[in-house]
């Protein structure tokens, strides 16, 4: 990422399904972990831009997490999560599309890039039972 391209967007899909149709409700969450490093073009620059991970779904923008990048060559670990709105019955596959926005402050007066390594994990709970439905799976994909 750079000051010229301060936002990178990824569309993800969290999918949960039981091995056979179940009459239980499922609720989900997505967790995004990121390792972020600011690399100023001028190694002596003292600017510390902020970096955000935020979410958006069909109901609109959602909060995530933000951090001040501590300076050149310092890696910052971040974790952002949000609930997946729209509970679903496991009588069929449950799917929650979500967009993740990675954003760099773009008006700091310094040139540079941000290196981002990230991963996403979906978590889905099944209401109404203490047992996991047979063949229950959760996956996060980038369609």
C-alpha angle 113/62/91, rounded to 5°?
Answer: 120
Query: 49 exposed, middle or buried (CB, 10 Å; 0-12, 13-18, 19+)?
Result: buried
Which pLDDT tens digit goes with each residue over 83-107? 998 888 888 899 999 999 999 986 6
Instruction: Please give the residue that has the higher pLDDT: either 9 or 127.
Output: 9
pLDDT tier at 121 (50, 70, 90 boundaries)?
very high
Q: In the predicted model, what is the mean pLDDT of residues 106-125?
A: 86
pLDDT 10s digits, 23-32:
888 999 999 9
Each residue of 29-54: pLDDT tens digit?
999 999 999 888 887 877 788 899 99
């Amino acid at each position: 990422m750079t000051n010229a391209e301060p936002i990178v967007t990824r569309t993800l899909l969290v999918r949960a399904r039981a091995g056979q149709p179940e009459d239980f409700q499922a609720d989900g969450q997505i967790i995004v972990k990121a390792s972020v490093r600011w690399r100023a073009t001028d190694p002596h620059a003292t600017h510390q831009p902020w970096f955000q991970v935020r979410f958006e779904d069909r109901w609109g923008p959602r909060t995530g997490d933000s951090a001040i990048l501590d300076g050149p060559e310092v890696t910052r670990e971040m974790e952002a999560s949000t609930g997946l709105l729209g509970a679903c019955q496991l009588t069929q596959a449950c799917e929650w599309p979500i967009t993740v926005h990675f954003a760099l402050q773009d008006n700091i007066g310094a040139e540079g890039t941000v290196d981002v390594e990230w991963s996403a994990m979906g978590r889905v709970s099944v209401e109404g039972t203490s047992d996991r439905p047979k063949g229950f799976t959760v996956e996060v994909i980038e369609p």
